[in-house]
Amino acid sequence: MIFSFFKKKKEHPKEVIPQLHTDIHSHLIPGIDDGARDMEESILLLKMMHTLGYKKVITTPHIMSDGYKNTPGVIREGLEALRRTAKKEQIDIEIDAAAEYYLDDGFYRQLRDRNVLTIGEYLLIETSYISKPLEFDAMIFEIQAAGFKPMLAHPERYRYIKELEKEYTAMKAKGIFFQVNINSFSGHYGKEAKRKAEFLCSAGMIDFLGSDVHRMKQAETLGEVLSNDVMHEIFRNNVILNESL
């Protein structure tokens, strides 16, 4: 049974809402993907994340062969520029970077060369929203063979997943960790993503939570969800690993 979590509840009026201090998915480096467009926007987003209680952000620019052809070098250069500016602005937040890898032919090459940016031992990956890659299972195997743990970004947003229990359970059995977007619980990505996020929460399948912040509107919605009792449900039903990173 799927419950609607995005409601103010009265059962636990004195219970402190769990707070996240580490975010592991965002697009804050300016001008290199569909995230922050310039340094001014990056700084505004960082200030908002700090206001929301985050002490550390691991920002994750897209890397995809047919879209954002970022490299570890480009990302590190952008990270250093962001760190310098944040220091000048006196934003008390730790900033690190990894990447969000699109599973395409180019990904195989990067993995083979071990030229990848990870979140600790985890490799953040995504796929097409419409269709599952034909070599999905083979790619997961190659990630693990290379010594990394696959972390699937926003599994609730993939429209090709139809039989929720069967398909999500099969992915978990393969050793895939799930990173759910916090804003999915607000309906930000649509009713279907919200329904799937609620299923994953009820099933105890969420391993990591991410803001996936690109713009200020998403950061504002994030603030609403973080202060909502939905966070109680997430932390009651799941072991959230953000703070281990």
pLDDT digits (tens, 9 = 90+) for 177-234: 999 999 999 999 999 999 999 999 999 999 999 999 999 999 999 999 999 999 999 9
User: Is 4 within a domain?
Assistant: no
Taking each helix axis as running N to C, give the angle between helix 39-51 and helix 72-88, from 0 to 180 degrees, rounded to the nearest 10. 70
Encoded tokens for 61 = 């620019």
Is the predicted pLDDT of residue 14 greater than 70, yes or no? no
User: Is 128 within a domain?
Assistant: yes
Q: Give tens-digit pLDDT for 108-165.
A: 889 988 889 999 999 999 999 999 999 999 999 999 999 999 999 999 999 999 999 9
Report, as an integer, the average pLDDT of 60-76.
95
Q: How many domains is the chain built from?
A: 1
219 vs 177: CA distance, rounded Å? 24
User: Is 233 within a domain?
Assistant: yes
97 vs 63: CA distance, rounded Å? 13
User: Is 15 within a domain?
Assistant: no
User: Is 1 within a domain?
Assistant: no
User: Is 10 within a domain?
Assistant: no
Instruction: List the end-to-end C-alpha distance of the chain, in Å, as a whole number.
Output: 32
CB 12 within 8 A of CB 232: yes
Q: Where are the alpha helices (DSSP H) in 52-180?
A: 72-88, 105-112, 136-145, 164-173
What share of the chain has pLDDT > 70, as a percent?
94
Q: What is the pLDDT of residue 105?
A: 87
Closest by alpha carbon to 129, among 105, 168, 106, 158? 158
User: Is 13 within a domain?
Assistant: no
What are φ and ψ of residue 178, in 5° steps?
A: -105, 130
Helix (H) or strand (E) holding 150: strand 149-153
Taking each helix axis as running N to C, give the angle between helix 230-237 and helix 191-202, from 0 to 180 degrees, rounded to the nearest 10. 40
Domain that holds residue 93: 22-244
CATH code, domain carrying 75: 3.20.20.140
User: Is 6 within a domain?
Assistant: no
- As beta bridge partners, residue 76 has none
